[in-house]
A and B are shown apart, each in its own frame.
Chain A
Amino acid sequence: MFNKKECVAMLLAGGQGSRLYVLTQHMAKPAVPFGGKYRIIDFPLSNCVNSGIDTVGVLTQYQPLVLNEYLGNGQPWDLDRIHGGVHVLPPYQSALGAQWYKGTANAIYQNIPFVDRYDPEYVLILSGDHIYKMDYDKMLSFHKEKKADCTIAVLQVPMEEASRFGIMTADENGTIVDFEEKPKEPKSDLASMGVYIFSWKKLKQYLIDDENNVDSSKDFGKNIIPAMLGANEKMVAYPFEGYWKDVGTLDSLWEANMDLLNPNVPLELYDPNWKIYSRNPVMPPHYISAVANVQNSMVTEGCSVYGTVDFSVLFAGVTIEEGAVVRDSIIMPGAVIKKNSIVEYAIIGEDVVVEENVVIGERPEMIDDKSQWGIAVVGPDVTVSTGTVIKPKQMVAGNI
């Protein structure tokens, strides 16, 4: 028998992330590169370790290859433990048959035996598509202090954006009285961050009941939370202050990367007490040549810069050749931008080769019809041949 763990984290990493289009064609969203040397999943995983949670189940389903390889035995996050640690949990075949994860709640339901092995009092449910730094231990203390059955982390959002989120209405004690998933007319500006703490015994019962309900879509936001609210369980909102961003769309992924360059955005990666861990590439320091211009940007190991880089994030092993200009863009690991090519307001995928004299994207002020403007995207492993023009908003999935 395993030793008891007070709290086990379950990280939902099986979603396709279809709104990232070409970037998630061959990898699950949590594996998408972010911030120069990270992948999205580094944030919730590092938060867990920094919060003292050493047992994390990562639920995978869609394109898990890159993610599995990246996680390995969890060592980069200090999650290679004798007892606990990180465990990748794909759907599996059982005596009753085999089934995919049918929803977020069903994914946890199918892994009840995993959670039970640690006999936890609490379960922390996380998702793998948000960039934020959060001390889950404080939230757990709050949950215990309030003697809650369920605590949902909430963030104040501008009222006009509230209809994009799960919206809570809470009374003066923080007790949740109403919850609506993406309401057309939001009653409050408290948005769910997709971070839940449940008392495990309680959640387990609701998961079993939900599984038996044929009408349920087996989803936390749509089924479990409303069912618990309806049964008058003690549900509280835990107010979070700080940076939090959903990076589920191309625009928000680009924006979150740009936020790293903005000194006014409160996402401090340099905090030695709250490091974000990642599987580090084995590469030499980056080189900035005598003819390069690099400003307002993030550059990491293995890069060679001979051109101009401004307001951009360069990931590991990127090469920017002489005369090339990269502005307001994110260039993912291993990509090469050859001579005299111009990349503006773009996301360039892993290992892309942009040949010479290519133009990708454009600044918004250069376009009169703003509806025609957007981030240009080149998918992973694409070769963009000499002289090609890729327009704003255009997305390229194959060699062009």
Chain B
Amino acid sequence: MYNEKVCGIIFSNTHDNIITELTANRTLGSVPFGGRYRLIDFPLSNMVRSGISRVGVITKYNYQSLIDHLGSGREWDLSRKMGGLHILPPFGNTAHDGIYRGKLEALHGALAFLSHSNCKYVVMSDCNIISNMDYTPLVEYHIQKGADITLMYKNVNVSEEQARASTLLKVDHTGRVGEVMIAPKTEGVNNLCLDVYVVAKDLLIDLIREATAKGEFDFDRSVLQGKSDSLKIYGYSYDGFVEDIYTMQSYYQANMDLLNPEARKVLFPADRPVYTKIRDEVPVKYGIDAIAKNSLIADGCIIEGDVENCILFRGVIVKAGAKVKNSIIMQGTVIGSKCEVNHVIADKNVVFNDYRVVTGTIDYPVYLAKNSRV
């Protein structure tokens, strides 16, 4: 099995700037999603399920919540003697200390992780794409094409806003990537780069060293654009389900999409579980007047009021007479009795005192920061 020869790298901080409210105190990778997950759970579980058992997680700043979430990696089956989870802090390398400006510079801090690994290939992923996919066919395709770098993309309708936060690819009929468009002003059906790459480890190390020598730091610009002639860069088309987080609105919508049974079926199939931190919460208790409709509810919640079209994270309390609709309520938030909450994203441990009314709109949900009091 070639799987023994693949290791993984996850960039926990790229795209932090796309949802600044949620990343004020955390990495994009530790942004809560879907009731009990963090965004990093998806690429990390994908790697584990694809047989990748050595994963480095690159961090930049605000990574305390990420370290708290990942711990030893046990819940992802990555607490290993051979391989396992490695959190790579930004100040981990004397040759290049500090806050990196781009992926290539960040990878410089991962050189030791890479050179100590006996893997032949490296799969790299960001945390903004939510999917339940197997990376095995991607790596097979990479080997079969004799590619230097293979990018995963999805042919999909892209909005102007989404394009502005993404990399789009032109791919010819042989699968070779031509033009690489970084944050272009366009819209319509395009090849959206899913920010998942495969590259041979030795080549990656060479690219990192070369970039360091030249003072380059941006992987997409210096490598994908700058070396498109000298390197064989291929595109691998993925046609499965993905959610792309590129704005607060898309974050809200991606959560709400989980209320669709078809989306849950492809994102959480029984034989391809998504791993996450265990908190030993009690099952949800529904009270005597509870009304719950079309909602996804994690353990530890106590529901005594009305909940409709909501995603409730672990340990949320909805008191009697409260009406919560079309909202994402994160861990530990308490909604007092007779409150009315509609189109709201409440971060962790928000307290709504009794009789509070907070209403956003479908295209502009109200965001309440962690620990706020209403």
Contact = CB atoms under 8 A, between A and B. Distances in A.
A299 B284 contact: yes
Contact of B283 (A37, A277, A282, A293): A37
Interface in A18-56: 35-37
Contacts of A289: 293-294
A385 interface: no
A75 B311 CA distance: 30
Contact of B297 (A261, A283, A285, A297): A285
A284 B34 contact: yes
A287 B302 CA distance: 15
A234 to B, nearest CB: 39
Interface string A280-305: 10111111111011111111110010
A10 to B, nearest CB: 25
Given A284-B296, A288-B293, A295 B287 contact: yes
Interface in B264-322: 264, 267-268, 270, 273-276, 278, 280, 282-300, 302, 307, 311-312
B235 interface: no
Contacts of B73: none
Given A75-B74, A288-B295, A289-B293, A298 B278 contact: no
B285 A283 contact: no
A288 B309 CA distance: 10
Contact of A299 (B258, B283, B294): B283
Given A284-B274, A286-B296, A35 B290 contact: no
B286 A270 contact: no
Interface residues of B, number: 40
Contacts of A35: 283
A105 to B, nearest CB: 34
A282 B270 CA distance: 9
Contact of B284 (A275, A284, A286): A286
Contact of A287 (B264, B267, B283, B299): B264
A13 B35 CA distance: 36
Interface string B32-53: 0011100000000000000000
B240 interface: no
Nearest to B285: A298
B261 interface: yes
B286 A295 contact: yes
A163 interface: no
Contacts, number: 102
B268 A301 contact: no
A285 B294 contact: no
A16 interface: no
Contact of A280 (B268, B280, B290): B280
A35 B299 CA distance: 13
A269 interface: yes
Contact of A285 (B36, B74, B261, B287): B36
A294 B312 CA distance: 16
Given A285-B297, A286-B297, A300-B283, A294 B302 contact: no
Nearest to A282: B273
Contact of B296 (A282, A285, A292, A293): A285
Q: Which of A269, A284, A287, A296 has the most CB of B within 10 A?
A: A284
Given A284-B296, A286-B296, A289-B294, A277 B280 contact: yes
B289 A269 contact: no
A109 B354 CA distance: 60
A293 B295 CA distance: 12
A286 B313 CA distance: 11
Interface in A306-356: 313-314, 317
Given A270-B302, A283-B273, A288 B292 contact: yes
B162 to A, nearest CB: 26
A302 to B, nearest CB: 8
Nearest to A77: B280
B278 A301 contact: no
A60 interface: no
Query: Which of A261, A298, A299, A314 gathers the greatest number of chain B CB atoms within 10 Å?
Result: A299
Interface string A242-286: 000000000000000000010000000110000111101011111
Interface of A: 35-37, 75-76, 261, 269-270, 275-278, 280, 282-290, 292-301, 304, 313-314, 317
Given A270-B282, A294-B292, 5 more contacts: A282-B275, A288-B297, A296-B288, A297-B285, A301-B299
20 contacts: A36-B283, A37-B283, A270-B300, A276-B282, A280-B278, A284-B268, A285-B36, A285-B312, A287-B296, A288-B292, A289-B294, A292-B292, A292-B293, A296-B286, A296-B287, A298-B283, A300-B283, A301-B283, A304-B261, A317-B270
